[in-house]
Amino acid sequence: MDARSLWLILAIVAVSKSTGVAPRLKLNDGKEIPALGLGTWLGFTKEGTRVPVQGDEVENAVQWAIDAGYRHIDTAAIYNTELQVGRAVNKKIAEGVIKREDVFITTKLWNTRHAKEDVVPALKESLQKLNLTYVDLYLIHWPISESEDQKFLDIDYVDTWRGMEEARAQGLTRSIGVSNFNQAQLERLISLTNSKPASLQIEINLNLQQPDLLAYCKRQGILVTGYTPFGSLFSDKTTEEVPPPRADDTSLVAIAQKYNKTVAQIALRYEVELGVIPIPKSIHKKRIEQNINVFDFELTQEERDVLKAFDKNYRVIAATHWKGSPHYPFEKN
């Protein structure tokens, strides 16, 4: 081997160590989705309002993510981050780092746009903010329908789905799916429409592993995207009453040390091994790089059993203010 080829190989090894590559999984409509993505919701403040976007923080996060190897970005109309996601993606396309078809963009229809004829206009507004001609996946964000002044409306999500199908037929999105639907709602949607969501996006983390819903989706060929993958791991983001584990849990730390990984990476890897597509959010470069670096090791069955035992059916996102809706998807007690 000459010096130049050796240098090239070393360079490739160095790059592949500092960036991550998530394998692509096949959706039931034949399209492909990368097995991990970047979340771009900034969360709630202590007062329960949405954290406002500051400066270019999301645009920077998405650029760092693409440089680190992410090819899947999750946003939503309600997050108010579509503009910055779009700027970052278009910048990386202009720089030649990616082509549009290399990156999988998900956005979501908000509760106030559930009328069938509202879906296409709502997606067009998102596309304008994203500065894209299509998204890869459009999701009904919640089965719940509300008016602008936050009164529950009696719009059936099956009607909303007809609007989603129209959006796909117009080429505005490649795939369509739903978020925060329970199994009964999925069954009803599938039986009444004779079509299947490409993906279900739900909360999945150590405290909320939802084995029955995952098994149902597997039988139906619906890939599950897992939101809030860190659950209540980080003490600064949770309160004492919330069930453990935290990131300093001794059994988690032991597993992390064995693989020279962080506890955050162990939580993400576990989800990947459950067949779930995690979409961790961070606006910090080092964490963004760390979070996709989970495809070079595998947990043992014994370790998976330890992680499984943390399941308590405890939700971070219980959306209890929507309990009054006829389509509230979660347990009401």
Ligand X SMILES: *[C@@H]1O[C@H](CO)[C@@H](O)[C@H](O)[C@H]1NC(C)=O
Ligand Y SMILES: NC(=O)c1ccc[n+]([C@@H]2O[C@H](COP(=O)([O-])OP(=O)(O)OC[C@H]3O[C@@H](n4cnc5c(N)ncnc54)[C@H](OP(=O)(O)O)[C@@H]3O)[C@@H](O)[C@H]2O)c1
Q: Is 79 a catalytic residue?
A: yes
Integer Cα distance of 300 and 254 in angstroms: 13
Contacting ligand X within 108-147 (CB under 6 A): 131
> If binding is defined by CB under 6 A, does position 260 make contact with ligand X?
yes
> If binding is defined by CB under 6 A, does position 78 make contact with ligand Y?
no
With beta carbons less than 8 A apart as the criterion, state whether 158 and 116 touch: no
**Which residues, at least 6 apart from 27, have a Cβ–Cβ distance to it below 8 Å?**
33, 175, 198, 199, 223
Q: In the 8-state DSSP scheme, what is residue 246? A: P
Which of 79, 138, 157, 328 is catalytic? The answer is 79
Helix (H, G, I), strand (E, B) or coil at 136: strand
Nearer to ligand Y, 10 or 260 (CB): 260
- Out of 38, 76, 85, 87, the only residue in the binding site for ligand X (CB under 6 A) is 87
> If binding is defined by CB under 6 A, does position 43 make contact with ligand Y?
yes
Integer Cα distance of 208 and 202 in angstroms: 10
- The count of residues interacting with ligand X (CB under 6 A) is 5
Is there a binding annotation on residue 114? no
Determine if residue 119 is left, alpha or beta; phi over 0 gives left, psi from -120 to 50 gives alpha, anything else beta: alpha
Q: At what angle do helices 157-169 and 183-193 cross, to 10 degrees?
A: 60
Beta bridge partners of 208: 205
> If binding is defined by CB under 6 A, does position 237 make contact with ligand Y?
yes
Q: Residue 178, CB half-sphere, CA atoms under 13 Å: how many?
A: 27
> If binding is defined by CB under 6 A, does position 19 make contact with ligand X?
no
> If binding is defined by CB under 6 A, does position 86 make contact with ligand Y?
no
Catalytic residue ranges: 79
Please report, as ranges, the residues that interact with ligand X according to CB under 6 A.
87, 90, 93, 131, 260
Please report, as ranges, the residues that interact with ligand Y according to CB under 6 A.
39-41, 43, 74, 141, 179-180, 201, 227-230, 234, 237, 262, 264, 279-284, 287, 290-291, 317
Q: Which residues are annotated as a binding site?
A: 141
Q: Which residues are annotated as a binding site for substrate?
A: 141
